[in-house]
Amino acid sequence: MFYRFKQLTLVAGDFIALMFGLLIATAVRFRSVSTNGEDLISPMLILFFFALVILFISGLYDLGRTQNRWIFFKKIITACVIWFIFGITFFYLRRTAIVSPKTILFFTAIFGFSTVAIWRYIYNRFISTELWKIKVVFVGLTPEVGELIEIINNEPSRGYQIVGFIIGTVLPVKYANYPHAATFKNLMAQNGNLRPDIIVISPSSVPLPDLQKELYSELTHQISIKEMAKFYSEITGRIPPFTFSESWFLSNLNEQDKKIYDRFRIIVDYVCATIMSIGFAVTFPFIATAIKLTSPGKIFFKQERIGRLGKIFKIYKYRTMSSLSADGSAETNGPQFAAAGDSRITKVGKFLRRSRLDELPQFINIFKNEMAIIGPRPERPEFVAQLSNRMPFYLLRHLIKPGLTGWAQVKESYYGTIDENLRKLEYDLFYIMKRDIWLDISIILRTIGAVVKLGGR
């Protein structure tokens, strides 16, 4: 919840900065702050909405990456250039009788995005890390706690500060600088009475009765007591594997609550598939010709995948690998994951994968109700068998239709081993449990960003 609040704060600040840029641009253009630019307000508001979308696609609302580094401000400059070009196109197509906005658009881009950069510097330097700092105490030390410590230390813009551990043993050397004690009272004495905002309890560290009483009394001080699973999911966007149990899934996977949302999603899927089919029709002659001219074999590639409730279907893609076997596939020694930099991928195939154009034919699977726009990526039956043997709860990812893109894909772009695919399961289960319209919008915008950057594999 606080993550969303901080994102909305950034959005509001960026919008105000852009409006300020328009005000300055109008003053420069007309030599005073006057009403001469009133006709521009409505179209500029539309453009500011797209500016916020561009900033999101650029990753500027990912709190883990909002740090005062050159690469961060370089993204703001890039977003400024894209927005300016988009604005020129917008006004050219609009063709109204208002004053030519080129000068105002230019100055708005310069002053508006410069103000955004200044606002972001202030936010990253002071507001997020100082004013809104969230103090955390961990009860117990597990591998998951170690992972969270690394994230919190490496991404200070998230605004978390570790103020100690409640643990009955000695901390490992690498954590020895943190205050720690067996009771909350003793911990407060060690850390200068720096009271936490959140106390996170690890599942393997069930508090002793006396400690439970201490923690209960802290509720009156408005300290939030959280289970590790919930806090871990909020930070990482994954369901931690230590929670995997029949009782946990029965309590948390409430599919009945998603029925209305799922029905609405079907309409969205068909609309998106229609748009994809138009894109497919326009690009097919060029893509098909490029595939045929650069490597022998078929244009399209069909392969069995596991869909919703374990149903097998055939997925359609453009062929991106060399045809090495009798059936036209790239496999000569049985099913295998594609590796990073796989030599079987053709030059055209590499571009198709990076741009995600190889997946355009999957509009057919969406129309056949075998896939959705968003969901866990469908796996081959052979891999599902291996993965479900390692993790029996793997089959839960088949509760919903597989997707063209998904939460796991936008968080980490590549999964080429069994262990990496089990990690992907943690993201998939998070999506299945948390899916809603806002998460879907986030996935779509992140996917667009990956396509623009040619970030596919």
Is the pLDDT higher at 110 or at 219? 110
Interval 220-228 mean pLDDT: 85
28 vs 54: CA distance, rounded Å: 26
pLDDT of residue 340: 62
User: 398, 307 in Cβ contact below 8 A?
Assistant: yes
Residue 247: partners with Cβ closer than 8 Å, 6 or more residues away: none
Averaged pLDDT of the chain: 86
pLDDT of residue 325: 65
Q: Does a structural domain hold residue 296?
A: yes
197 and 230 belong to one structural domain: yes
107 and 123 belong to one structural domain: yes
Q: Does a structural domain hold residue 408?
A: yes
Q: Does a structural domain hold residue 247?
A: no
294 and 412 belong to one structural domain: yes
Residue 429: partners with Cβ closer than 8 Å, 6 or more residues away: 239, 393, 396, 397
**In the predicted structure, residue 33 carries a pLDDT above the cut 90:** no
Number of domains observed in the structure of the chain: 3
61 and 141 belong to one structural domain: no
**In the predicted structure, residue 328 carries a pLDDT above the cut 60:** no
Rg of the chain taking only CA atoms, in angstroms = 26
The encoded tokens of residue 166 equal 């409640």
The CB density around residue 307, as the number of other CB atoms within 10 Å, is 21
Out of 131, 162, 181, a domain closes at: 131
Out of 203, 236, 269, a domain closes at: 236
Helices (H), 161-317: 184-190, 209-218, 228-236, 246-252, 259-294
Q: Give how far Cα 173 sits from Cα of 26, 135, 170, 178, 184, Å.
A: 59, 22, 9, 10, 21
Strands in 224-227's sheet, in edge-to-edge order, are 180-181, 160-166, 134-139, 198-201, 224-227
Out of 201, 236, 271, a domain closes at: 236
Nearest in space to 451 (alpha carbons), one of 379, 354, 373: 354
CATH number, domain containing residue 193: 3.40.50.720
Q: Which domain holds residue 63?
A: 2-131
pLDDT of residue 266: 93
Interval 283-310 mean pLDDT: 91
Interval 172-189 mean pLDDT: 89
10 and 113 belong to one structural domain: yes
pLDDT of residue 362: 96
Q: Tens digits of per-residue pLDDT, 44-54?
A: 999 999 999 99
Nearest in space to 337 (alpha carbons), one of 297, 379, 377: 379
351 vs 365: CA distance, rounded Å: 22
**In the predicted structure, residue 98 carries a pLDDT above the cut 60:** no
Residue 131: partners with Cβ closer than 8 Å, 6 or more residues away: none
Q: Does a structural domain hold residue 188?
A: yes
pLDDT-based confidence at 206, cuts 50/70/90?
Answer: low
pLDDT of residue 404: 94
Is the pLDDT higher at 277 or at 242? 277
pLDDT of residue 295: 86
308 and 376 belong to one structural domain: yes
* Highest mean pLDDT (candidates 73-82, 96-105, 247-256, 289-298): 73-82
171 and 98 belong to one structural domain: no
The encoded tokens of residue 440 equal 């879907």
Interval 393-418 mean pLDDT: 86
